[in-house]
Amino acid sequence: MNHNIILIGYMGSGKSTVAKELHIKTGVEIIDTDKMLVKEQGRSINEIFQTDGEAAFRKLETELLRRLSEGESNYILSTGGGMPVREENRAILKSLGTVFFLKADTDTILERVKEDTQRPLLQGTDQRAKITAMLKERTPMYELAADHVIETDGKTVEEVVSEILCLARK
């Protein structure tokens, strides 16, 4: 049985911020899949998408999860927003620990990502339409992957973290 805390959710749903606060509260280390891939590849997410394409990035994500599933340890896993889209990834995420879906609506997400230049899937015009369409497509997959759905709209990071810790300790 693995007791890692796994954070999933759309871009800008607060996974990195919540992971940092969880780390402060618990002292447990954070593994951030995007950061790990950037480090291992020696290039940014934008560069990976531009040079090799999204499919190649998705393959790297799955390979990373497979490697994580071979080791056992105590960590908070902050995942890229597309991680739960693949069925294989959803199964691995579940096997790695307790999965928390940080749910946020389009307005909350738009506010957080509107100035962002590091997320290839959100560049260009009409961010709102892109986010709305992707949320519609992905939300069922996030829900399938999740053990717990955490509604984050209008909540502070501290409130979200308290909910997660309360559920994780049960």
DSSP-assigned states of every residue in 1-65: ---EEEEE-STTSSHHHHHHHHHHHH--EEEEHHHHHHHHHTS-HHHHHHHH-HHHHHHHHHHHH
Q: In this complex, which beta carbon is closest to ligand S3P, that of residue 23 or of residue 119?
A: 119
Q: Are 101 and 150 in contact (CB under 8 A)?
A: yes
Q: Is 114 left (phi over 0), alpha (psi -120 to 50) or beta?
A: alpha
- Least separation, in Å, of the C-beta of 71 and ligand S3P? 21
Q: Which is nearer to ligand S3P, 85 or 165 (CB)?
A: 85
Helices (H) and strands (E) in the chain, counts: 8, 5
CB of 134 to ligand S3P, least distance (A): 7
Residue 105 DSSP one-character state: -
Q: Closest distance between ligand S3P and the C-beta of residue 92, in Å?
A: 16
Smaller CB separation from ligand S3P, 53 or 72? 53
Identify which of residues 16 and 26 has a Cβ nearer to ligand S3P in the complex.
Answer: 16
Q: How far is the CB of 119 from ligand S3P (least distance, A)?
A: 4
Which residues are registered as beta bridge partners of 7?
Answer: 78, 100
Other CB atoms within a 10 A radius of the CB of residue 156 amount to 10
CB of 37 to ligand S3P, least distance (A): 8
The residues binding ligand S3P (CB under 6 A) are: 11, 15, 34, 45, 80-82, 119-121
Residue closer to ligand S3P, measured from CB, 72 or 134: 134
With a CB cutoff of 8 Å and minimum separation 6, the contacts of 128 are 106, 110
